[in-house]
Amino acid sequence: MSRITNIADAMAAELARGEFSMEFAPTRSVWPKFTPEELASACVTVIPKSSSSEMASRATAQYDLAIDIAVQKKIEKDQEAEVADLCGLVDEIDDYLRGRILEKVPSAQWLNSANEPVYSAAHLQEHRVFTGVLTITYRQTIMR
């Protein structure tokens, strides 16, 4: 399996062990695709995004592996309150993973996270679906 897939699987496993304000079962996938029925509750998808590498020394290579975490849920009645709660869930996921050593890939170190844009306005307007994407980058240094 590829480095980035290993990191994505490890992140999904870490999220499954966490406690959050909303229940969800994180899955690793190539893209988030859910039925309207599945989106009645929060859905979290861990998606490999990008990989870059450079030489860290003569003997080691450094890989920066970016993973997207998509949080999605159908908005029912109170759009303002539900969007605020889901933004809070994205923040909780970010806080939970920040600095965390991944049990399945302990050589990977949390590097940074970004949440831009905070959510997709188009998904809210067109489908009444909250879609927030958090990008987390882990760094892995490997002996050549």
- What pLDDT, on the 0 to 100 scale, is given for residue 56? 85
Q: What percent of the chain has pLDDT over 70?
A: 100
For residue 144, pLDDT beyond 80: no
If you average pLDDT over residues 62-71, what whole number do you get?
Answer: 97
Domains plus CATH for the chain? Answer: 3-143 (3.30.2000.10)
- What pLDDT, on the 0 to 100 scale, is given for residue 68? 98
The Cα–Cα gap between 74 and 51 comes to: 31
pLDDT tens-digit readout, 90-122: 999 999 999 999 999 999 999 999 999 999 999
Does residue 136 contact residue 70 with C-beta atoms inside 8 Å? no
The Cα–Cα gap between 7 and 109 comes to: 10
Confidence (pTM): 0.94
Question: Considering the chain, what is the average pLDDT of its residues?
Answer: 95
Q: What DSSP character marks residue 67?
A: E
